[in-house]
A and B are shown apart, each in its own frame.
Chain A
Amino acid sequence: MALSVALIPLLPLTGFVILLLFGKQLGEPWAGWLATAMVAASFLVACGVFIGLLDQHENVFVHDYFEWIPAGSFRVDVGALVDPMSISMVLFITGIGSLIHLYAIGYMHGDPKFPKFFLYLNLFVFSMLILVLGNNLLLTFLGWEGVGTCSYFLISFWFDDPANASAGKKAFITNRVGDWGFMVAMFVAFFTFGTLNYEAILADPSGVSQTAVTVIVLMLFVGAVGKSAQIPLYIWLPDAMAGPTPVSALIHAATMVTAGVYLMCRINPLIGAADSWVPWVIAWVGAITALVAASIACSQMDIKKVLAFSTVSQLGYMFLAVGVGAYWVAIFHMVTHAFFKALLFLDSGSVIHGMHDEQDMRRMGALKRFMPITAITMMVGWLAIAGIPPLSGFWSKDEILGKAFEAGGQGYALYAIGTVAALMTAYYMTRLIFRTFYGGENWRVTPVPEHGQTMAAAFAAMEPEARDAARDAVPDLDLAFTPEPAHGHIDAEYEPHESVWQMTVPLIVLSVLAITGGFLSLPFEGLNFFEKWLEPVFERSGVHEGEHSMALVVILLVVGAAVAVAGVLFGYSVWGKKNPSTQRALEPAAAGNGWYYDIVITRFMGGPGELLFNALAWFDRTIIDGAVNGVGVGLVAASQVMRRGQTGYVRRYALGIGFGTLVLLGFVLSKVLVS
């Protein structure tokens, strides 16, 4: 058991090392197959561990491999904690991870840095597995930083374009704010508990001061907010779209952003022991993020940006679940979200691939005819995320909203916000589907933006007649939201194509999972397998299941389904039929620009922020460096005086020795004489 648990992260690490040493020699496509095989093997081993875990006492397996940092009373071991929650995470990380690897073999075909891409992917999966399997905060932090670094490498993978490079930097720097919170939390945790081991920290938090526990939880929440892209640190995730699409799928579905939710669920006994307002803060941040991100997604033009804001919004639901104490639902939604969001991202990648790197939905349309497999699987993802029963998103999202409703008090407000966000979700996904797969073949009439030119500028530069034709087909060509430089360059004669089998097979597998994923746990007694499976992990959280009547559950489910259907129908009425004025009215510039949040941050950091940092830099250069260098300069000056005594004449030294002897003698004699 100990060996096979160690193999789970070691297999991707082996792939990483082999690709590091022999990646160039392996080349395309063998580097990709190797990386895929390693993650797939890791998945198989994880399946074995899962079966083995059923025989373990309380389904928990803990093993310390070796001593990592022995430093006095501070001692950290490298050890694994395998419990129902972490094995669930491992299964979907490696399972979806291997599908994404397979997909990437097709997607990255012909890229000059093909082996390097898979090297990063394997390291990414390894870091995420360390994060999930580690049995102490520091090991989790190691994986936490690992996924941050890999995301930096992968987002700016095509760093020839400065926009991609700066998107990578943005992700890295924003994440550091969260990492600061994580580190402070670790310091306080060590100060309070004397250890960083989960078992020791989570065993009985009632014995320590509530203030310390509150600080730990809040600081870890800051870390989770950074990693899982919640308000106010969500700005990096939409920009992370600059990376190749398999990376977007990996970051959004299987790894990285789920880390924050995992961490919050892992420390559930601490959240239970913290001040009573702390869970509500988490729930409100989640609910507001869900709503704001969904509203931004409604008027994005870039197909991947819609999905990016959608991820931010769905992560908000997970934090809402954590806040109302429904930890297992957060994990449940994480799993179903991993299924359908990976599916949607890979589908969008397939569309972008088939459209020769075009990402602007205004230049798409009628693609169902050209890429039927992509279209059908993406529609599965659409219905799943919209919450149409009986697909997976319906069960998990409505479970979250139901738990918020049952929490009572502020829970009713959270439920209302979540329901509005669900309505928006159904709407913007319908918009995406109809703009992409239905309607006219818009790339034949819309202008081709030059490199770095916005669609609006290209539209303004058109001939008047062509412009009228383009406006008739696509009413919102003149909209230009903050930096949205054009990617694609296909012209009117282009014929889109369906993707290769390495890309379509993962799509089909994921669409089956997106349909059936919800049956892991249905909200009826006896069918809630996933809830029963995860229950032991959260029994110390201090949250007690209230008595919920069957009638209430059914009413909430019906309401949830009605909201989803309403959103889809509304989306269809606007985007399925020609309705230019409504279409324009539903894409306000404010929402398209992300409520100007990004712009305000940029302005602030470029203005007063830069002044502040310049002042800090000055302080560092003059005061701190001055003190450090001052010690050195002072020592040099002092020794300039001292060296005069060093004449090099033997007789001077002899005189010195003589005098010294006399002084010592005088001292001893005076002592003797006095006594």
Chain B
Amino acid sequence: MPKTYKDLAGDGGSNIVGQVTEQLARLQARMQPIRNKVAVVSGKGGVGKSAITVNLATAVAMEGAAVGILDADLNGPSIAKMTGVRGQRPMITAEGVQPVKGPAELRIMSMDLLLPHDETPVTWQATTPTDAYVWRSSMEGTALREFLSDTIWGALDWLFLDLPPGTDRIATLADILPGLTGIILVTIPSEVSYLVVRKSLALARNLKIPMLGLIENMAGYDCQYCQTVGELFKPGEGSQLACDFGIRFLGEIPFDPRLARSGDSGIPFVAVHQDTTTGRTFQAMARELWAAIGLEPEGHIESGKP
């Protein structure tokens, strides 16, 4: 009886385990100086997750914290546009890739910064175009790992990851980033959105991922003329949903047309509209976020210091 696979020492000479271990070590070393790694997720698309990521990150940075944003939506990147850094090109060095600097000293990395043209879709090399889609999920996982481990984030108080919609993304990220501090769920006041958010909450719970809180977006209409918030969809039940799952309700963001326009202009809303209902809500959420991890927004890493 000839020897079997297990009888032969080693792995055939490629040291795959060693290579994967090295990948993990690189990731851990890069993540080590980052105090809090937070994923912003929604089960459903179109709930304003990226706009909330940008403004929440800016609000936290305005308190003096060192903050980064990784646009983990590889196929529909929008963070670069929303922070006005689109068109800049990250510098690639032997040590890694420098994130570009955005407003409030945000350190930003996005697939959008690597694509040559506006129309360029994210497709991966493969034997045939059909095969490229077969491998898409695996390649995206690899790309996300590289964005985390090869970007020179430096010391950060917060790294926000703007995930693409989809409940499954939570599992993928948890697999890639074991040190995830927690997730923030974004919903809108609709039964459809609540339904999907419940799935995300249940999955996060199964994976034992800490849930930092729930944000309800488009909760009412913020009239900039009379300074009141009127009804837009049905009255929000986000706080009740958070209560049902025993998680913190970080707050509700009313619909404000200026918020939508700020995404197009590349200047975060909260940076220039601090004294509006929505602006104040973002700042309150930033404080809630500190509270969610049991810290105060003081003793932060000096912003801009790598």
Chains A and B are bound partners: no
- Footprint of B on A, CB under 8 Å? none
- Footprint of A on B, CB under 8 Å? none
